[in-house]
């Protein structure tokens, strides 16, 4: 592996009509129709390190090539002479760690947020002494061993898990085999956050086991929840519900389709001394919302935090209809003067489109709403200004 990292890098050239200026100004991707994929480059191993040249053969930096992916080239370093070795990796990880340690007292956060941390396709979540790595691009899979070594050296973590569940891996031609790469994992990990305790299943749970990106939105919702009853739909392991209870909510009901996730939510509620105020309901979210409405239930705060209804541009219109339907079903469950939080993690749906769909749904649900706050992912999920996809999370808070 180290020999591979030290070999001279071959060159790959942009087509004349490719936007070399965008690359020089920080855009991290080159699509397959923008790069010369001749017989030589098409035979390169996915994840190969290359020097990218513009059409005039001027080097723009060191990149990684996957000739079988729509995103054929991902930029790694603007210095054409850079070497992507153990020292380079440790410098990137150290910069990422310094930022998170400035933000958080406890080692529970997203440590590496892919392109926004200069490591395209690589996601790392930290759970104390355990790191969960999502190598979602071919180069991260190819260099997984030195990446793991550098992460362990920089953080001092004792265990490392490879999570291969990401949809992006399939687009890169990668497998879906998750495994423990280092150390041991003995059951779910207790994660303190916003005054609550969350139980994260790092091996078989959704994504990496917990959604750190909603931390700031959990905290804002907890301010609205004081003394109120709370409904948390698509709750996973209790995300908004447990934060609301820690913030003084009178009660909280979590709805999710996974009994395993709800079991972890109940365990977290018990650890936080909130079990008496916490309830769960297993079932399809749409069905549960309709049933609660038919039962005449009302809540002071309702939160709907679904999975990505529009994971691609092709799914955008269907996703917007789903977001509108969620708003239509949820709005009637909110007490007069209560609050409704609607979330989207679909990068293919921009903020304005999501807001419009949510407003239509609230209106179709027979309610009027004022937007009081718009939330995004926390600062451990930085956005790359040149890459809209890095700003995927939106949370809209309405007073009805």
Confidence (pLDDT) at 19: 87
Rounded-to-integer distance, Cα 63 and Cα 176, Å: 24
Select from 31, 56, 77 the last residue of a domain: 77
Select from 77, 94, 113 the last residue of a domain: 77
* Low-confidence spans in the chain with pLDDT less than 70: 1-7
391 and 276 assigned to the same domain: yes
Report which secondary-structure segment, H or E, holds 41: helix 39-42
Helix axes 144-155, 86-103, angle to 10 degrees: 40
CATH number at residue 201: 3.40.50.150
CB atoms inside a 10 Å sphere around CB 33:
11
Confidence (pLDDT) at 5: 53
Confidence (pLDDT) at 182: 94
193 and 117 assigned to the same domain: no
Total count of domains within the chain: 3
297 and 321 assigned to the same domain: yes
Pairing mode, strands 48-53 and 11-13: parallel
Select from 55, 77, 99 the last residue of a domain: 77
171 and 310 assigned to the same domain: no
Which residue numbers are catalytic? 345
- 207 φ/ψ sector (left φ>0, alpha ψ -120 to 50, else beta): left
224 and 341 assigned to the same domain: yes
Rounded-to-integer distance, Cα 106 and Cα 100, Å: 10
Beta strands in the chain (DSSP E): 11-13, 29-31, 48-53, 59-65, 71-77, 108-113, 122-127, 130-135, 159-162, 179-182, 189-193, 196-200, 229-233, 251-256, 278-282, 299-304, 334-344, 370-375, 394-399
CB 151 within 8 A of CB 117: no
CB 94 within 8 A of CB 154: yes
Rounded-to-integer distance, Cα 356 and Cα 353, Å: 5
25 and 164 assigned to the same domain: no
199 and 287 assigned to the same domain: yes
106 and 27 assigned to the same domain: no
- Domain extent, residue 176, equals 86-182
Confidence (pLDDT) at 2: 42
CATH number at residue 65: 2.30.130.10
161 and 199 assigned to the same domain: no
Burial (CB count <10 Å: 0-12, 13-18, 19+), residue 263 = middle
- 366 φ/ψ sector (left φ>0, alpha ψ -120 to 50, else beta): left
Pairing mode, strands 71-77 and 394-399: unpaired
28 and 96 assigned to the same domain: no
The token duo for 297 is 């239930």
99 and 50 assigned to the same domain: no
Using DSSP, state whether 398 is helix, strand or coil: strand
pLDDT digits 0-9 by tens, 241-296? 999 999 999 999 999 999 999 999 999 999 999 999 999 999 999 999 999 999 99
Confidence (pLDDT) at 3: 44
The token duo for 91 is 């410098």
Confidence (pLDDT) at 1: 43
The full 3-state SS of 108-139, as one line of letters, equals EEEEEEHHHHCCCCEEEEEECCEEEEEECCHH
Confidence (pLDDT) at 204: 83
CATH number at residue 102: 3.30.750.80
334 and 204 assigned to the same domain: yes
């Amino acid at each position: 592996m180290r020999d591979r990292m030290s070999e001279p890098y071959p060159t790959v050239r942009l087509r004349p009509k490719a936007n070399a200026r965008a690359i020089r100004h920080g855009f991290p991707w080159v699509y397959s129709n923008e790069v010369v994929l001749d017989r030589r480059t098409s035979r390169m191993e996915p994840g190969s390190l290359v020097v990218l040249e513009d059409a005039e053969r001027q080097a723009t930096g060191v990149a990684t090539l996957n000739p079988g992916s729509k995103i054929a080239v991902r930029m790694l370093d603007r210095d054409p002479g850079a070497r992507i070795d153990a020292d380079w990796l440790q410098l990137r990880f150290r910069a990422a760690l310094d930022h998170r340690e400035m933000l958080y007292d406890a080692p529970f956060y997203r440590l590496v947020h892919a392109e926004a941390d200069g490591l395209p396709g690589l996601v790392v979540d930290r759970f104390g002494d355990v790191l969960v790595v999502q190598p979602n691009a071919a180069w991260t899979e190819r260099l997984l061993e030195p990446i793991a070594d550098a992460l362990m050296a920089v953080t001092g973590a004792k265990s490392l898990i490879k999570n291969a569940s990401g949809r992006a891996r399939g687009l890169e031609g990668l497998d879906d085999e998750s495994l423990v790469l280092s150390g041991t994992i003995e059951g779910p990990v207790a994660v303190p956050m916003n005054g609550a305790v969350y139980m994260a299943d790092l091996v078989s749970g959704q994504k990496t086991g917990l959604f750190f990106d909603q931390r700031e939105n959990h905290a804002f919702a907890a301010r609205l929840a004081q003394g109120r009853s709370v409904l948390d739909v698509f709750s996973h392991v209790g995300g908004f519900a447990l934060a609301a209870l820690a913030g003084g909510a009178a009660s909280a009901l979590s709805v999710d389709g996974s009994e395993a996730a709800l079991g972890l939510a109940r365990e977290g509620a018990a650890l936080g001394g909130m079990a008496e105020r916490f309830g769960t309901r297993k079932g399809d979210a749409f069905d549960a919302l309709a049933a609660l409405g038919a039962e005449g239930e009302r809540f002071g705060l309702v939160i709907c935090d679904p999975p990505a209804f529009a994971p691609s541009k092709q799914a955008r219109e269907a996703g917007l209809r789903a977001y509108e339907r969620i708003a239509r079903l949820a709005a009637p469950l909110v007490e007069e003067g209560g609050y409704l939080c609607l979330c989207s993690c679909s990068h293919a749906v921009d903020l304005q489109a999501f807001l419009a769909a949510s407003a239509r749904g609230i209106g179709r649900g027979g309610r009027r709403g004022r937007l009081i706050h718009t939330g995004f992912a926390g600062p451990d999920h930085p956005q790359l200004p040149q890459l809209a996809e890095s700003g995927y999370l939106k949370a809209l808070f309405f007073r009805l």
